[in-house]
């Protein structure tokens, strides 16, 4: 399969799968989430359950009432905490495939997702939550995934192991049968002064032992070497990954988030993302993310939900 180049390619892949997905959106009170609801309904892409918290617009309520295709269900709660709990329980009970955040605080949503006391959370035993961002850049010839830009501050060896497994799963759902994953550092030389290099060495040993299936994993290397073959050749780095990475694994959250924000603002890259490690994909878009970013994040999550 030819690598996906644009988010429109990703949307066409979703359409081609011809599987109906059920999505719960909690607190769809902001303009950008309303755009997502209307586009999904107008194009009959997804079955939506909207959990209102009392802050929704009259226009959106009227749109839902007038929707003729039967793909929108609405529920009402007294506040955002109740809406979050209800939406998470719907997914927990297997009545929806994807959870999406609207205008409510991320902390409120994640409190319901984790739900250590009520037993309705979405964290599977032994799993680690992580975040995968997908970027579309004019200077790269395919979509590029980045982990982790939003959840894990300083990943341990086992958290990196989980991240790589999630990344491989998402890659394969996007048609990348043998993902190429780059372990990012500022240098291609493994240096014992940096503990991350020891973790990278262990991850490479696990990959060589087929822990992650058919894939290529290499590093440390810088982002430019991972995505630009000429740069790698100049540095005499030879690897199936160099110049052709599908995924870049960041050394920590600071590096990942800075990279994410930099290429989206200065590089004008388009972005999508989802939380993994949960029993169903969760879209936790920032309130500052564009309507387009939220829409394609939902499409990505629906594709990733095809297990």
For the chain, list the domains and their CATH numbers: 7-123+279-304 (3.40.50.10950), 131-270 (3.40.718.10)
Residue whose structure tokens are 């799963």: 169
Q: pTM for the complete prediction?
A: 0.93
Tokens representing 130 are 């992580």
Among residues 124, 176, 119, 114, which one has the least CA distance to residue 145?
Answer: 176
How far apart CA 42 and CA 130 sit, in angstroms, is 32
Q: What is the pLDDT along the chain (307 residues), one digit of tens a residue?
A: 788 999 999 999 999 986 789 999 999 988 999 999 999 988 888 999 999 998 777 888 888 888 766 688 999 999 999 999 999 999 999 999 999 999 898 899 999 999 877 678 899 788 899 999 999 999 999 999 999 998 999 999 999 999 999 999 999 999 999 999 999 999 888 888 899 999 999 999 999 999 999 999 999 999 999 999 999 899 888 899 999 999 999 999 999 999 999 999 999 999 999 999 999 999 998 777 899 999 999 999 999 997 5
Strands of 175-285 (E only): list them. 180-184, 216-221, 247-249, 270-276, 282-283
How far apart CA 106 and CA 114 sit, in angstroms, is 12
* Chain CA centroid to CA 285, Å: 9
């Amino acid at each position: 399969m030819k690598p996906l180049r644009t988010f429109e390619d990703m949307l066409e892949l979703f359409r081609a799968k011809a599987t109906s997905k059920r999505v719960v959106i909690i607190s769809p009170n902001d303009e950008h989430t309303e755009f997502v609801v209307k586009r999904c309904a107008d194009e009959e892409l997804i079955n939506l359950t909207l959990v209102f918290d009392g802050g929704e617009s009259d226009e959106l309520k009227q749109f839902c009432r007038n929707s003729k295709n039967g793909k929108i269900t609405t529920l009402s709660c007294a506040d955002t905490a109740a809406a979050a709990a209800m939406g998470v329980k719907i997914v927990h009970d297997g009545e929806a495939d994807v959870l999406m955040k609207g205008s409510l605080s991320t902390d409120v949503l994640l409190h319901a997702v984790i739900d250590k006391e009520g037993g309705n959370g979405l964290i599977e035993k032994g799993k680690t939550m992580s975040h995968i961002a997908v970027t579309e850049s004019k200077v790269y010839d395919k979509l590029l995934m980045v982990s982790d830009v939003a959840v894990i501050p300083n990943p341990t060896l086992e958290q990196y192991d989980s991240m790589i497994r999630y990344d491989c799963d998402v890659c394969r759902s996007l048609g990348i049968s043998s993902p190429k994953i780059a372990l990012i550092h500022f240098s291609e030389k493994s240096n014992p002064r940096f503990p991350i290099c020891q973790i990278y060495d262990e991850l490479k040993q696990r990959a060589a032992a087929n822990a992650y299936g058919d894939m290529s994993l290499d590093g440390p290397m810088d982002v430019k070497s991972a995505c630009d073959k000429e740069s790698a050749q100049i540095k005499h780095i030879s690897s199936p990954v160099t110049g052709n990475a599908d995924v870049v694994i960041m050394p920590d959250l600071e590096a990942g988030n800075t990279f994410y924000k930099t290429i989206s603002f200065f590089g004008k890259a388009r972005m999508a993302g989802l939380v993994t490690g949960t029993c169903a994909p969760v879209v936790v878009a920032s309130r500052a993310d564009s309507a387009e970013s939220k829409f394609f994040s939902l499409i990505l999550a629906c594709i990733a939900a095809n297990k």
